[in-house]
Amino acid sequence: MVTQQKSMLNRKVAPVIKDAIEFELILPPYKKHVLSNGVEVYAIDLGSVDAMMINWIFDAGNSYEEKNGVASAVSALLKNGTSTRKAFDINEHFEYYGAYLNRSAHHETAEITLHCLNKYVHELLPVVAELVTDSVYPLEELDIYKKNAQQRLQVSLKKSDFVASRLIDSYLYGIEHPYGKYSTMEDYQGLTREDLLAFYKRFYQNGSCRIIAAGRLPEDLIVQLEASFGKLPLRAADAAGAGIVAPIVPVTQKKYAITNDPNGVQGSIRIARNFPNRHHPDFQRVQVLNNVFGGYFGSRLMANIREEKGYTYGIYSYLVNNVQESAIVISTEAGKEVCAATIEEVYKEMNDIREDLIDEEELQMARNFAIGTVLGDLDGPFHVASRWKNIILNRLDIDYFAKGIEIVKTITPEELRELAKKYLDPADFFELVVI
């Protein structure tokens, strides 16, 4: 009885509060398998719920297209018909088993993502394989896609934030680069079924692919993947990421002011500069600097421009997640009468962080936010898979995650000031306001 009393929780004493940076964070490992055709499978067996996710990642982003908009169209229409199934039949099949199949296209890659209960995966994999090998891109489906895409673009072009986001990319990378180009009404109208079938044949049917599976995985998952995908004419992902061939050519002019809507009352502000990719030794260090500057709700940009000045509902800075080259971007929307003042305050904060040391309390908050974000990303198998996908697609070392945690915990105010002097010089930034 005495022992029991000693072990009881004393609710009159507050528990010890630990800072997030005191936690030891470990990224759960994957198991790597290779199918007969060389396609690599990264399996992350985690979780107590009978659910799982499989992600097929093809080297089939817009970096590989020769005609604007083809990669996105091929991805969007992938499940809109095969030689034996109509679009309705395909969707009905996945819905019958409570599964969700998503497609997406990016700069370097295009992805198929399946979420399902693990007990039904054997019913679903053959149909996904059918989409990879036998999509037919019916002309009537393409016509609907083109009309819908043009209507969406027509609506989006009236929004200052949409126009600002795509223009700033063209300034940073050049309009001919895959990161900087964007689709027009004429691009959508010019898409043909032949364009889509040629791209599909080259980059899906005979393309390079990786597979990431996460969740409570069936014991025979690799056997099932081998049966459905191991004999297809797929291959391992390209080692060099050969899709991007255009050089990065930023524009020479630095400042732009565009009137998109003469009656608009709000301006979309983008302030950005080019920055190296994740292989550069400064990348993870600048992520910590960015948190202090504008990376979360407690940042300097938020404290000044939202909380003190009231110019905007929110303002953030971030590093773009591109493979070839990143960028530092400050993004916000403000009343058009205070856009100039908002930009002036952004540059003021740049100069302050370049001149003065960050105090330990502010740095500790930024550290805790960074570690807290990672803790959230480790909550569940799908988030863990997302972390690994970022490492795999960027061809980073396996210890990249651990190095990043160590940098967050140990970087000094002096190091951050030197990084700010190097990368937060207002003279290096493009400035765009779209009203």
**Cβ atoms < 10 Å from Cβ of 265:** 9
The average pLDDT across 421-430 equals 98
3-state secondary structure 260-300: CCCCCCEEEEEEEEEECCCCCCCHHHHHHHHHHHHHCCCCH
The pLDDT, as a whole number, for residue 7 is 59
Model pLDDT, residue 2 = 43
What's the average model confidence in pLDDT over 162-188? Answer: 96
DSSP string for residues in 90-102: HHHHHHHTT-EEE
- The pLDDT value given to residue 12: 80
**Do residues 216 and 49 make contact, with C-beta atoms less than 8 angstroms apart?**
yes
Q: Is the dihedral of CA 91, 95, 99, 102 positive or negative?
A: positive
Residue type for 274, please? N
- Sign of the torsion angle spanned by Cα atoms 308, 309, 312, 317: negative
- Residue 117 clears pLDDT 80, i.e. is over it: yes
In tens, the pLDDT along 374-419 reads: 988 888 999 999 999 999 999 999 999 999 999 999 999 999 999 9
- Average pLDDT along the chain: 94
The H-or-E segment that residue 132 falls in is helix 121-134
Indicate if the pLDDT at residue 1 is higher than 50: no
Across 221-242, average pLDDT? 87
The pLDDT value given to residue 3: 46
**Taking Cα atoms as reference points, which of 377, 383, 373 lies closest to residue 53?**
383
**By the 8 A CB rule, do 279 and 194 touch?**
no
CATH of region 255-434, choose from 3.30.830.10, 3.40.50.970, 3.90.1280.20, 3.40.190.10: 3.30.830.10
For the chain, what percent of residues have pLDDT higher than 70? 95
Residue 293: how many other CB atoms lie within 10 Å = 26
Which of the four pLDDT bands, split at 50, 70 and 90, describes residue 19? Answer: low
31-236 and 255-434 share one fold: yes
Query: What mean pLDDT do residues 299-322 have?
Result: 96
pLDDT of res. 204: 98
CB 233 within 8 A of CB 37: yes
pTM over 0.85: yes
> What is the band of 13 on the pLDDT scale with cuts at 50, 70, 90?
confident
CATH 3.40.50.970 assigned to 31-236: no
Asked if residue 23 has pLDDT above 90, the reply is no
Domain ranges of the chain: 31-236, 255-434
Cβ within 8 Å of residue 318, ≥6 positions away: 290, 294, 295, 328, 329, 331
Q: What is the pLDDT of residue 174?
A: 96
pLDDT over 90 (residue 102) = yes
pLDDT given at position 18: 65
pLDDT of residue 21: 64
As given in the structure block, the two tokens for residue 194 are 């032949």
Name the pLDDT band for 76 (thresholds 50, 70, 90).
Answer: very high
pLDDT digit string, tens, across residues 235-258: 998 755 555 667 899 999 999 999
Secondary structure (DSSP) of 327-359? EEEEEEEEEGGGHHHHHHHHHHHHHHHHHSPPP
Give the residue with greater pLDDT, 228 vs 264. 228
